[in-house]
Amino acid sequence: MQKLKMLTDDQLVANYAKGSNEAFDALLSRHQSRVFSYILHIVKNRDLADDIFQETFVKAIMTIKQGRYTENGKFSAWITRIAHNLIIDYYRQEKSENTVSADDDDVNFLNRKDLCDDNIEDKIVVDQIHRDVKRIVDALPDSQREVLVMRYYRNMSFKEIADATNVSINTALGRMRYAILNMRRIAEENNIVLTF
pLDDT at 49: 92
For residue range 104-122, what is the model confidence (pLDDT) as tens digits?
A: 555 555 555 555 555 666 6
How far is residue 40 from each of residues 88, 95, 114, 160, 168, measured CA to CA in Å?
Answer: 13, 19, 29, 35, 44
pLDDT at 53: 92
Q: How confident is the model at residue 48 (pLDDT cuts 50, 70, 90)?
A: very high
For residue range 72-91, what is the model confidence (pLDDT) as tens digits?
A: 768 888 999 899 999 888 88
**Domain 120-189, CATH number (from 1.25.40.320, 1.10.1760.20, 1.10.10.10, 3.40.50.300):** 1.10.10.10
Q: What is the CATH number of domain 4-97?
A: 1.10.1740.10
How many percent of the chain have pLDDT more than 90? Answer: 20
Whether 4-97 and 120-189 share one fold: the answer is no
DSSP string, 75-95: HHHHHHHHHHHHHHHHHHHHH
How many percent of the chain have pLDDT more than 70? Answer: 83
What's the whole-number average pLDDT of the chain? 82
Task: Specify whether the CB–CB gap between 147 and 175 falls below 8 A.
Answer: yes
Q: How confident is the model at residue 52 (pLDDT cuts 50, 70, 90)?
A: very high
pLDDT, average across residues 152-162? 84
Per-domain boundaries in the chain? 4-97, 120-189
